[in-house]
Chain A
Amino acid sequence: MAIEATKRANMRRASLRSIVSLLIGSKEPPMASQAAMGFFTDTSICIGCKACEIACKQWNQLPASEPLWTGSSYDNTGQLSATTWRHVQFIERIERPDIPLLQPVPALMSGSQSTALPFFNSDRWLMQSDVCKHCANAPCLEACPTGSIIRTEFDTVYVQQDICNGCGYCVVACPFGVIARDQYGDRKAHKCTLCYDRLKDGFEPACAKACPTDSIQFGEVEQLKAHARERLGMLHERGVKEAQLYGVDDHILDGGLNSFFLLLDQPEVYNLPQNPQRPSNNVIPASLWTIVAAAVMGLLGIVIFKK
């Protein structure tokens, strides 16, 4: 609804501008500015229903993955892939940190832990719906040599399928292991589009729409970030001290993430890198070292051959 209103306002502005440009005889104006849109995934209210996974597959017509039994948790999806753009993690926090995993059974039985009621102990499930982070400085976009990966008017990162030639550079550039090449299908790079097609028509992305607890929220990035901070404060107030935000400030990848998270443990528990480096920052130092080595060998080569 909010989108609807801004869209209409934008269209009005755009038409006004096109009339002005017609009178002056200038070129077509650039596309009307549009607020950055993103996701706020609040893992504290995720119930692990996987509705987002299914909604995403259905809307984007993604094929089901090979049935796989991971044996480690209720998560048989395993990871994001070229055909899985939402992935719900199940992190089992049942064992206590002070009990080593391989302790003899009698020692466990004699402890007082076995009498604790489930409601009053810290055993819990952590669930998180993982997705593309739509980074403000996206390494996949920076790496792409064809210009296939672009930033849309919604400030999201989008792979143009008619351009991608499957070179695979974005795959190793992404520090979150999100974007993947479809090795069994069309051999092109795929990832979450933030439902670009739905956004164009003023709908929210399929996963956010389907989420029954509003763990996945969609909206303007700035508003969502304010809301995320508010929610964090509320949780801290209620004693959930371990709650923390991931990707809200500008710390990660020199500009933050447009799709960010509220976590109930340190990022590593969710396989999220704490402070990944921006691959493109390596280009200059690596080039300088290359030039130094080449200069040393070139100059010595000249000295050797000049005699």
Chain B
Amino acid sequence: MEEARLPKVFTNGTLPATIAEQLATITTGYTPDSELELQEPSYYDYPVLKAPVWRWEIIWYFFFGGLAAGCYVIASITALFGSSEDRPVARAGYYLSLLSVLPCPILLIKDLGKPDRFLHMLRIFKVKSPMSMGTWGLLSFSLFSGVTAVIQAARDGILGRWWGSRLLAALPQRFLAIPGSALGVFLGGYTGVLLTATSIPLWSRSKVLGAIFISSAFSTSSALISLVLRLTRTPTQALHKLERLEWVALLVEMVGLFSFLRGTGRAARPLVGTGPTEHGRTFWSFVAGTGLILPWLLQTLTLLTGRSAKRRSGRGIVISLLVLMGGYFLRRTMIEAGHTSSADARTTLWNAKR
């Protein structure tokens, strides 16, 4: 009975469906029973909800927004609490934060139905609407990220040696770091809160999507900073600390994701299941498997065994790339599975029975 329902196909190099299906059942705590579900009433299975209008622009915005936020916060932590040898982390973090925040407004404006009306977002300040707050948050964060990066550039001598550059270099970067980091945490997490404050069962049932997104912002950002430091061969002892932070962030992300799946139960099927419209195979292969658990295990190995610097660097680059890929696929499968979730009338009606 149980086996007959499981599709037995191996497809395009991802996990076999049976393994993904078993993982889905274990993590969500829900075994799909198609016969029982078919007895639930609905109106000819027409969707109860409208499908989201958000597509690739939003996925990339979530990814870059997370990087911009995480890089700024990590750079600020090292600038405020780190030693002098941690300087390269702060420098790289502030530059990468500005670079990552630049595509964000373009992606968001392109996503609008009426891009020429993007300024209408600034008509009001609405605490109840995460999108309104997000607009203001992104705007103010960009300001902090920009100014901080310009001060950093002036201190690094990139802006030349004229009086304006000297004045900028003298500005107190540390004072900007505290409000800037608060805004960074907001930017990295509000996207998850925004998805939670909808009627889509997958996004709204558990309330931890914001926690997952902020931890993913931390993990992808530390991966990006260490990747850039390694590729530019910047000699620094701080890489070791960055690796530990990344390890912590990946752990928090795993705990968050597991509680998300548990808390969402049946409504998480579009994300983890293996049906034709479900995204389980991508999720288990690229988000949970090679994007989260594998780099975390590799990182654990690196932290436990003191290996030679050269081999360590090679492995570090692989870990960084895996974490960045996992962060992208997390957002992608989450948005795409939200489309599937909105189309499932029975689960939507089940979700509203509380």
Contacts and interface: CB of A to CB of B under 8 A. Distances in A.
Interface of A: 70, 72-73, 78-79, 89, 91, 139, 142-148, 163-169, 171-183, 186-189, 265-266, 268-277, 279-280, 282-283, 285-287, 289-294, 296-298, 300-302, 304-307
B342 to A, nearest CB: 7
Contacts of B74: 301
Interface in B87-101: none
B354 interface: yes
B147 interface: no
A139 B200 CA distance: 12
A269 B43 contact: yes
Given A146-B120, A166-B114, A279-B199, A286 B249 contact: no
Nearest to A187: B113
Nearest to A279: B197
A165 B108 CA distance: 12
A295 to B, nearest CB: 9
A72 B181 CA distance: 55
A291 B252 CA distance: 13
A285 B209 CA distance: 11
B153 to A, nearest CB: 23
Contacts of B345: 271
14 contacts: A72-B44, A163-B123, A167-B112, A172-B203, A181-B113, A273-B48, A279-B198, A283-B130, A289-B208, A290-B214, A291-B189, A293-B210, A293-B212, A294-B214
A82 B165 CA distance: 54
B244 A304 contact: yes
A305 B241 contact: yes
Contact of B46 (A78, A172, A296): A78
B43 A271 contact: yes
A289 B257 CA distance: 12
Q: Which 9 pairs from chain A and chain B are nearest by CB?
A: A166-B113, A273-B352, A187-B113, A290-B210, A165-B117, A290-B189, A293-B211, A168-B53, A271-B43
- Chain B contact residues, majority secondary structure: helix
B226 interface: no
B248 A300 contact: yes
A275 B204 CA distance: 14
A306 to B, nearest CB: 5
A271 B82 CA distance: 57
B120 to A, nearest CB: 4
A37 to B, nearest CB: 24
A290 B187 CA distance: 11
A275 B120 contact: no
A172 B126 contact: no
A96 to B, nearest CB: 14
Given A179-B50, A287-B193, 8 more contacts: A143-B198, A164-B113, A168-B113, A174-B49, A174-B199, A279-B199, A298-B73, A302-B81
A276 B81 contact: no
Contacts of A179: 50
Nearest to B205: A277
Interface string B338-354: 10001001001101111
A172 B207 contact: no
B186 to A, nearest CB: 9
Interface in B37-52: 40-44, 46-52
Q: How large is the interface on B (under 10, 10 to 19, 20 to 34, 35 or more residues)?
A: 35 or more
B321 interface: no
A55 to B, nearest CB: 23
A128 to B, nearest CB: 9
A270 B42 CA distance: 7
Contacts of A148: 120
A246 to B, nearest CB: 12
Nearest to A270: B43
Nearest to B198: A172
B53 A268 contact: no
B120 A163 contact: yes
B53 A282 contact: no
B296 interface: no
A72 B43 CA distance: 10
Contacts of A283: 128, 130, 193, 196-197
B352 A277 contact: yes
A302 B210 CA distance: 22
B210 A305 contact: no
B263 to A, nearest CB: 10
A286 B193 contact: yes
Contacts of B351: 273
A36 to B, nearest CB: 21
B4 interface: no
A143 B126 CA distance: 9
Contacts of A147: 123-124, 126
Contacts of A91: 43
Interface string B280-321: 000000000000000000000000000000000000000000
Contacts of B54: 168
B325 interface: no
